[in-house]
Structure 1
């Protein structure tokens, strides 16, 4: 299917709000393909430049090679066509290519060498510093096993001036620390690395903290290592881009004697190997996982170790697997990639390094990593301390069920006390134990605690992901266990009630709110409205329907979006039952039968439901205006006016003025200037002038429409407006 230039630009604009992933990649590639077909060279260039950044900062940097190469060749052919600003961006992206190219064993070394030579030539030609070039040469030497040479490059870099093409104060030390760690220069690595922690870079502190874990442990700085692990993991747990950093955190679990934590991380993140960022990070994660699995097997007397249970990810679930079996699989995978690197590099650096990783063990005394072990001085007060003591007592007594349920209760209390990081860790531990004990209902309830803790703790979409997974698992559809999801009647001493799992519509409404704005957010809010209605929770159903309308972008044509079409159809049906197909306000208060959409018993809102009903009417009218159904929009707004008149004490002046203003706008578009003026002046009378910008603008439009030039000029002068302010 061919597309017009306008359609392509709209499609490209839509990618800015899309999460990183296969869907966004596919849209970008479609835009590029059609732009090429239409000969839109400048547009295709801009899209590829943007796509290069998207691919590089995801788990698909190999796609960036193609888009970058195209842009570089196009710029070299016709630099005047694209402008000097693009040259700086291309030189910046050169660093990404030089960094990534060595992480693919299939790419010959000569290609990397040529790329670095080209980079240096272009930087010199532009009068730029060699600071970034030296950093990239150091990284390349590190990847190919020339560690001493890598450090020499970094030392030369430290004596070279920085400029606008240098990496930030966080990323420069981060790249050097890896070499210092390989050389065993831990004290220097810590000194240089810790300067990057507070750099403000979006890639920090997770990168530098992950690199410093081994130096901290080897230097006996256990507390700093634990805090570094906790801080790093909070920032990498939701992004497969950080597969390499996750590998270092897995090794830390081995070094610190926290194999259970390591197994938990493998269960959560093994799916990242389905789309590894690069072969290098794939090899590193596989090797680090082998270290965890092998030490766990040894700890269990060589009987095969624990059985790992993997969550469902994107509709797929890996079968339960014994640790020993998975270790064999991942060992072969890691060594296979290492041998390819050795063949390319002409040495055994990578295979030796990876074997060392897989054979590593604990260093020094075990470090307490569990939140329950570290919480002796918690600020949670007496109730939390009693729960923490109870976890230890029940565990020591062998009452694993009671201990797991108490962990869940403690996580809920930590969340209530706004200890979000601790609540997340406590919930993770509780869920792991509850799952292993088969307490699926309690585990589902604790996942709701985890989702809320994730959302409040750190960046990223961990909370959204956790809530999606909980909804996808549909715990409400299972056989009741211990009285139903989240109900645990045998909880020890009930010092703190165990968390209960809310009804599905409540979680759907929460997910709609967390997603913010867009078709998916609207879809979840609409699902919540249906669920509330089916349960007879009428006011909540109306409120969720209003949320759905507010969260979906206005359409500028007849809706083709499936969510929007469903949303408008459903809203129209509900309002039809409430007020009649024409929106007649005279039907307010009458009751009608259950409608075909499943939103039951909404044909006559009581006083308490006036507010959500008015919100629905306003939002629905806005969508009707956007698609040109002005008569229907006017009827719905008249209904809202009648509701507010019938319940004068339930709404603030701002809400009433909004309805009057919206109705005036619609009537003006319909050509009824006199009625539009009536509503504009009525809305303006409700507000102070400083709060009435939209109302004043509407009145100005009305005066312009009826040719009242003197009155219009006076209005503009009085309120400091220009004629352009009246244009939509």
Structure 2
């Protein structure tokens, strides 16, 4: 199917907010294909440059070779067609290509050298510094074992001025540290790399912290290495782009005597090998994993690793001894390809050294349970931690895993959030390994709360989402926990967790979908008030415009809302104010959606019903001081359009409904009714600063009915202009 230029530009704009992955790759490639067919050279150039950036920061950098080559050829053919900024972007992308090309043994070494020669020629022609050129020449030299040349390029780069085409203050030291480590200059590597730990680059601080791990361990700075590992791993654990940094973290686990932690990382991330961003990172991760597995085999050859389900697939369980053999063969097979390309045995020798790595000095405690967890509030946490050690030593791994969860819960209660996260992470790993399903589900909820308290909101949402979407829910419980029909008894009911996750996700289709799921769950449990409140939140959390992908979800929520309102009793006085207030909140949210979707008459009907309910609530004996959250999400109190009407008086809430009704009357062409509703709302406000919505509706109504003199006086009284009404 052919597309117009406007359609292509809209499709391209839509890719900007898409998460990195196959869907985004396919969308970009579709735009490129149609742009080429239409002969839109400049547009095709821009899309390919964007695609190059996307591929570079994903696990598929090989895709960038084609997009970059096309852009470079197009620019060289007709440089006059492009703006100066295009040339600068090309020069910046040169660095990515040089960084990537030497990591693929199928690409001849001469091609990598030709590419960096071309980079230097273009940089010199533009009068740019050779800083970036020398940096990348050094990386290529280091990767093929030409360490004397790598040192020469490093020394020359250190004396060369930086400019706008140099890497940032975090990435330059990261590449320098890699070279210095290869040269055996650990102390200098730490000195050079330390300032970059505070870099704000998207690749930092995970890259520099990972590069510093082994120098820190080798120089006896175990505590700093532990902190660097924790900081780095938080940033790399959810993105296969960071497979290379993860390999360094595995080696750290071996060198610091934390083989158990290394096994945990292998279990969680072995699936990343299926989409390793380059053969080099594939080789390094496999070799680092062998180092961990070899040490684990020395301790207990029969240890079995269990792997999580990833994208619907799960690798079979494996004994450490068998997996070590498999990954050794894989690492050496890739290393041999590099050796054949490079004409030496540098990479295979380096990987042999990695796989033979062992601990350096005394073990560096990494587990939170190896620390003194005493607190000023008492010895309870310390005693619980001692139970973990005692039960582990006695071979009672089930009780030890549950004790870990108890420690995490206690740490969270004492607001020791970072330690609670560490303890809960370990507890989750142990419970999962022991297949203690009900305990595991409860501990995942604990971990999600710990992440949230520690300021790791994205991780909290991920863990809670995985819990709700996993097969763990509904499987038979084990141990002392008893499962209810809504999930493990130690968890809140599932609809409450769905609602919590919707709140954590903020605004957008994902949050709205969670609230919709919560509403359905509450309805099934005959919790009508909660169902109405969740539906209101679902409506309020959807984008108001600009995300066509949410249209289907909106239609689904509107249908569910109509059905829910149909189950609510009429608008007469209620025995309890609570269901009626929830109904008002849903009617208000529903009316606003009906209005923006072009159904103002239906919106007016819903708002009039809300007013009638509020009148009933105000009747003596019904509960006139009930809080009806019509302007804000009922679950959070977070305003969606300002924070007016946030008191507790039902009459103030009525003002929000009346104001919206006035706006709907304007849409229906009835300015008299619009003005009447807005003035009634205005009369309910105590603070004139909250009156903006009402003032605009009144002014627009005056203009619509041609009351020019009255409008002029009204605008003057309220310090408004007619232009304000059109903003």
Q: TM-score, normalised by structure 1?
A: 0.90
Which residue of the other structure, out of 388, 408, 417, is the alignment partner of 1:391?
Answer: 388
Q: CA deviation at 1:211?
A: 0.9
Alpha-carbon distance change, 696 to 71 in structure 1, aligned in 2, over 3 angstroms: farther
Give the deviation of 1:456 after TM superposition. 4.6
Deviations 1:540-585 (A, max 9, x none): 2122111211222236799984322211111111122326xxxxxx
1:112-511 matches, within 5 Å, as: 112-300=112-300, 304-376=301-373, 381-457=378-454, 461-482=458-479, 484=481, 500-511=490-501
Distance 2:446 2:4 in 1: 47
Q: Are the counterparts in 2 of residues 59 and 241 from structure 1 also a CA contact under 8 Å? A: yes
1:671 maps onto 2:661 in alignment: no
One of 612, 615, 625 as aligned partner of 1:645: 615
Q: Does 1:524 align with 2:524?
A: no
Judging changes above 3 Å, is the alpha-carbon distance between structure 1 residues 252 and 520 closer, same or farther for their aligned structure 2 residues?
same
1:619 aligns with 2:609: no
Q: Distance in 1 between matches of 2:589 and 2:371?
A: 50
Greater shift, 203-212 or 87-96, is seen at 87-96
- Please tell me whether the aligned partners of residues 409 and 499 of structure 1 are also in contact (alpha carbons under 8 angstroms): no
Q: Cα gap change, 1:215/1:563 in structure 2, threshold over 3 Å: closer, same or farther?
A: same
SS in 2 for 1:195: helix
How many Å apart are 1:708 and its aligned residue?
2.4
**Residue in structure 1 matched with residue 633 of structure 2 by the alignment:** none
Deviations 1:161-206 (A, max 9, x none): 1111111111111101011111111111111111211233332221
Q: What is the Cα deviation at residue 380 of structure 1? A: 7.1
- For the 8 Å contact 2:447–2:460, the answer to whether it is kept is yes
TM-score by length of 2: 0.90
Q: 1:643 to 1:119 in 2, by over 3 A?
A: farther
Query: Secondary structure, in 3 states, of the residue corresponding to 1:631?
Result: helix
For structure 2, list consecutive stretches of 5 or more residues without a partner in the other structure. 619-624, 629-646
- Relative distance call for 1:458 and 1:298 in structure 2 (3 A) is farther
2:36 is aligned to: 36
CA distance change for structure 1 residues 456 and 37 in 2, over 3 Å: closer, same or farther? farther
Q: CA deviation at 1:457?
A: 4.2
1:533 paired residue among 523, 540, 551: 523
1:378 Cα deviation from its structure 2 partner: 5.5
Paired residues of 1:213 and 1:229 also in contact (CA < 8 A): yes
Distance 1:408 1:19, change over 3 A: same
Q: Is the 1:450–1:463 Cα contact (8 Å) retained in structure 2?
A: yes
Contact 2:177-2:189 within 8 A present in 1 as well: yes
Contact 1:141 1:149 survives alignment (8 Å):
yes
Say whether residues 1:101 and 2:101 are aligned partners.
Answer: yes
2:503 matched to 1:513?
yes
The structural deviation recorded for 1:294 is: 1.3
Worse overlay, 440-449 or 679-688: 679-688
Given candidates 538, 554, 561, the residue that maps to 1:548 is: 538
Q: Are the aligned partners of 1:464 and 1:514 in contact in 2 as well (CA < 8 Å)?
A: yes
The answer to whether the 8 Å contact 2:572/2:616 transfers is: no
> 1: CA distance between counterparts of 2:520 and 2:349?
59
- What is the aligned partner in structure 1 of residue 15 from structure 2? 15
Give the 3 Å change call, closer, same or farther, for CA 9–646 of structure 1 in structure 2: farther
Structure-1 separation of matches of 2:400 and 2:259: 19
Does 16-25 or 274-283 show the bigger shift?
Answer: 16-25
> How far apart in 2 are the matches of 1:58 and 1:378?
43
**Structure 1 stretches lacking a partner, 5+ long:** 488-497, 580-586, 591-603
Which deviates further from its counterpart, 56-65 or 70-79? 70-79
Provide the secondary structure at the position in 2 that maps to 1:367. coil
Comparing 468-477 with 532-541, greater Cα deviation is found at 468-477
After TM superposition, give the deviation of residue 320 of structure 1 in Å.
0.9
What is the RMSD of the two structures over their aligned residues, measured on CA atoms?
A: 2.5
More deviation, 526-535/624-633: 624-633
In the TM superposition, residue 646 of structure 1 has moved relative to its aligned partner by: 2.6
